[in-house]
Structure 1
Amino acid sequence: MESKMEIIGGKPLRGVVEAQGAKNASLPVMAAALLLKDSTLRISRVPNLLDVNTMADLLRSLGAEVSFSNHDMEIHTPSDISWETPPDLVRKMRASSLVLGPLLARCGKAVMPLPGGCSIGSRPIDLHLKGLTKMGATIELVHGAVHAHTSGLTGCRIYLDFPSVGATENLMMAAVFARGETVLENTAREPEIYNLVEALKSMGAQVEADGTGVIRIQGVDALQSAESRIIPDRIEACTYILAGAATNGEVTVTGVIPNHIDSLLAKLEEAGASLTVKESEVTIHPSPRLKGVSLKTLPYPGFPTDLQPQVMAALCLAQGTSVIQESVFQSRFLHVSELNKMGAKIDIQSNSAIITGVDRLTGADVVATDLRAGAALVIAGLAAVDSTYVYHLGHIFRGYEEMDRKLTALGADVRVLAGDSGDGCGAEKNVRGSSPVLGG
């Protein structure tokens, strides 16, 4: 029997919640530690999540020493590390692919099974491999695994056909030791990219990124010990803002960078929400029923695909019709059938969802098909009448640290019900992502 979250909905959320460190910034910065040689990277504001713990285990399997407590992580990379990644860890998480570039740069070779992750459609790593090949790597696919080797990467110009976040990060890290200059064009411009840029620069890499989508890396011979701080998680912050909107509550999210979430704030204002934005916090106030809006997901600074399910949950209760066009991932509507179970009226037409607002949602048993879909179902459950049970919590705790505890502090009636794990508490512990080694 698996763990589930019970939500007794219908209560406006009220209070203050602090944004966690960004999952999508932590993972590449952690991977960058592989570029070190007998040196240490200290990272602060790291969220304690399943994905973070998986990456820590992956780094350990390659020979790094990782300690983690109270959101501070220390990664010491010795002189000799392994270049072959364990399939069981890589297949747990798509972000495992981020070690490919550092391993090639550091060891000259890497073996990595094709990574796993959320079921939100095709997410190939073709752009990663194409760029690494252009830098001089020889890459073969053997029995579902990437086998890469090089006698030394060489700087070159690489134009990305799509501004892929993972490809941008991987190629940037691979280029750190490449001979000469590497110029990456049409790169991703997400804030998490620049968190990695700053981390690499603190380690001694020569990286220039001015926000235009062009990143220049001048190869160096070695890096040194350094410190890095993770930026606030904009997707988590927006999830709590949307939970406040859906329940007609008053929620203040602190420790945020408001201009990182401009696309959501603009849509909420268009929908009639009342917001107060300060230097490092955002408050959503009780307001009349939201109005329907239209939006299209796009690479940053456009509306993030990682927020599409959550904003859809809030718009289920808006007045009138909303249209959401998904242009990034082709299978990111798996949550629609679950929302419809709760009384939502959502029709899918090709890559668009047409949402006809309803007066209320009703609790139901629903299944989280991926990380952000799970967050959307939690938002819907908070706004719904009666009880909602959200299954497959492992997805949610991959990206949200202590979500149930944060919601409880905002006045929600939620609890994680542990399945039968054999020891009476293991299921809840495991689904949260805590680890006896990592703590934190």
Structure 2
Amino acid sequence: MDKIIIKGGKRLTGTLPISGAKNAALTLLPCALLTEEPLTLRNLPRLADIDGFQHLLNQFGVSTTIAGSRPQDFGRVMTLQTPRLTNTTAPYELVRKMRASILVLGPLLGRAGEAKVSLPGGCAIGNRPIDLHLKALEAMGAEIELAAGYVRAAAPDGGLPGGDFAFPVVSVGATENALMAAVLANGTTRLDNAAREPEIVDLCNLLVAMGARIENIGESDLTIHGVPRLHGATYRVMADRIEAGSYACAAAITGGDVMLKGANPAEMRATTHALRNAGVNVEESDAGLRVYCDGPLRAVNLSTAPYPGFATDMQAQLMALLCQADGTSVLNETIFENRYMHVPELNRMGAHIETNGRTAVVHGVDRLTGAEVMATDLRASMSLVIAGLAAEGETVVHRLYHLDRGYERLEEKLALVGADIERVGSD
């Protein structure tokens, strides 16, 4: 198994391109199940999760072609087409590795009137039940059965009638599944307390481009008027706000000056606000975000929250940055109950972090030191890379399959701005 070796202490400077968003792409890909016509997605990141989802879609009769691009280029163009659904079962062996696989449930149900999907896997960051997915679909007229580790969903004869559902808590995935099922329903669906993440907006914009009728995009009360069919479209995946925030933390912890080309400042307000409070300079422009740090880092207190709050997917990266801040920071994780698995690894590098339930207290230290560390989940692995960039000596990060799920060619991008980083085989 590969590992990444980082020799810390290098100041990051230059321009770093931001890829298409993983979380958005995994939501846009299953839209190919909703139409017989071609769907072309541009700016699709080269990631293990994207490849895995592509293989899953192939099970249903989706053909996929990738436009020719140079290996050194970031991103790619993929065209997907489903003239006929050949299967409506998502098997355990494909679904178990990736939680986003549950997002085929809504579109299969909407188009075929039935679906059988294995209960999903993914990062072990806490309990993430799919009960809200199922309750939303039931409110739209679906019959749901759980048996032998699978979800079986069926629409009445003639298709889903549509309906109203109020989410008791905000759920991004459940909102996405409900949206994709509702666009082909026979009637109108109203979703209250729906998620407002930019990735939800990206999904709505694609569905509208395919002929869907959706009102109040970007708000928590969505109204979807079902249409008889959708057509194909060509669409560009939004920039990855979590990747951009991660590299912003990397630039700041090294006292660097990096232009994050293609980042969308409007979608990153909570992240840039936290960075500025921590003493990091952030300049917005049409080209992206310039992030530089020319003074000491400051401690901050914050809690994760659904959008437009501070994203749980940025918590680990910001924690790594705050390890070198003056003073004591307090972070509260309100989304997942098991998202501090990176703390022991950061402490191995000389950090001083204490946890109590969902609260982490980060005491800033003068320096971090290189060590061998183990990635425990996707964002935790990035926090170790960020810490390694600032640490004295050599840091070795193991279990790179986590990083490869969410960061497109990370070591190449960091090398572009001056990091001393390489990927090597384990032996």
Contact 1:248 / 1:287 at 8 angstroms: preserved in 2?
Answer: yes
CA distance in 2, matches of 1:80, 1:384: 52
Q: Partner letter of residue 26 of structure 1?
A: A
Structure 1 residue 311 corresponds to structure 2 residue 318: yes
Q: Say whether the 8 Å CA contact 1:248–1:286 is kept in structure 2.
A: yes
Match of 1:177 in 2: 184
Match of 2:245 among 224, 232, 238: 238
Deviation, 1:81, is 2.8
Secondary structure of 2:406's aligned partner: coil
**Which deviations, in whole Å up to 9, do the C-alpha atoms of 1:271-329 show, x marking residues without a partner?**
22222221231112231110100010000000000000000000000000000000001
For 1:214, the equivalent position in structure 2 comes to 221
Describe the shift of the 1:310–1:231 C-alpha distance in structure 2 as closer, same or farther (beyond 3 A): same
**CA distance in 2: counterparts of 1:211 and 1:225, whole angstroms:** 23
Distance apart, 1:209 and its partner CA = 2.7
What corresponds to 1:133 in structure 2?
138
Q: CA deviation digits over 1:56-76, x for unaligned, max 9? A: 111111110011244101001
* Alignment pair present for 1:297 and 2:304: yes
User: 1:57 is matched with which residue?
Assistant: 55
Q: Which runs of 4+ in 1 moved over 6 A?
A: none
- Aligned partner of 1:81 in structure 2 is 86
Deviation at 1:79, TM superposition (A): 2.2
Residue equivalent to 2:395? 388
Answer whether contact 1:15 1:409 (CA < 8 A) is retained.
yes
In the TM superposition, residue 136 of structure 1 has moved relative to its aligned partner by 1.4
Counterpart residue identity of residue 41, structure 1: L
Whether 1:189 aligns to 2:200 is no
Check conservation: 2:141, 2:163, Cα contact below 8 A.
no
Q: Name the SS of the counterpart of 2:44 in structure 1.
A: coil
Residues of 1 paired with 2:85 and 2:359: CA distance?
50
Q: Identity across aligned pairs (percent)?
A: 47
Q: Trace 1:198-209 onto structure 2 (pairs within 5 A).
A: 198-209=205-216
- Determine the C-alpha separation between the residues in 2 that align with 1:15 and 1:293: 27
Cα distance in 1, alignment partners of residues 318 and 287 from structure 2: 22
Q: Paired residue for 2:124, among 112, 119, 133?
A: 119
- Name the counterpart of 1:349: 356
Question: What CA distance in whole angstroms lies between the structure 1 residues aligned with 2:194 and 2:296?
Answer: 39
- Partners of 1:301 and 1:32 lie apart in 2 by 25
> Paired residue for 1:25?
24
Deviations for 1:39-71, whole angstroms, at most 9, x for unmatched residues? Answer: 110111100101111111111111100112441
CA distance in 1, matches of 2:215, 2:52: 30
1:140, CA displacement in angstroms?
Answer: 1.2
**Cα distance in 2 for residues equivalent to 1:121 and 1:383:** 29
The answer on 1:94 being equivalent to 2:92 is: no
Could you tell me whether the CA contact under 8 Å between 2:201 and 2:217 is conserved in 1?
no
Q: Does the 8 Å contact 1:22/1:231 carry over to 2? A: yes
Post-superposition offset of 1:147? 1.3
Task: Using structure 2 for the length normalisation, give the TM-score.
Answer: 0.96
Asked if 1:46 corresponds to 2:82, the answer is: no
Structure 2, unpaired ranges of 5+: 70-75
Secondary structure at the residue paired with 1:80? Answer: coil
CA distance in 1, matches of 2:171, 2:355: 26
Give the drift of 1:366: 0.6
Deviations 1:307-359 (A, max 9, x none): 00000000000000000000001100000000000000000012110000000
Aligned length: 418
Residue 91 of structure 1: CA displacement? 0.7
Query: Using the alignment, how far apart are the partners of 1:381 and 1:271 within structure 2?
Result: 19
Structure 2 equivalent of residue 5 of structure 1? 4
C-alpha RMSD of matched pairs (Å) = 1.0
> 1: CA distance between counterparts of 2:381 and 2:216?
34
2:12 and 2:255 in contact (8 A); partners too = yes
Deviation string for 1:381-431 (max 9, x for gaps)? 1110011110110000101000000011111111111236xxxxxxxxxxx
Tell me if the contact between 1:160 and 1:184 (Cα under 8 Å) persists in the aligned partners. Answer: yes
Question: Which 10-residue stretch deviates more, 343-352 or 280-289?
Answer: 280-289
Which ranges of structure 1 fall in alignment gaps of 5 or more residues?
Answer: 421-440
Q: Does the 8 Å contact 2:60/2:85 carry over to 1? A: no
- Call closer, same or farther: CA 1:210–1:201 in 2, change over 3 Å: closer
SS in 2 for 1:308: helix
Would the aligned equivalents of 1:197 and 1:209 in 2 still touch at CA under 8 Å? no
Matched, 1:335 2:312: no
2:73 aligns with: none
CA deviation map 1:220-251 (0-9, x unaligned): 11111111111100000111110011111111
| 1:147-202 Cα deviation digits (max 9, x unpaired) | 11122211111101111111011000000111211001101101111111111111
Could you tell me the TM-score, scaled by structure 1's length?
Answer: 0.93
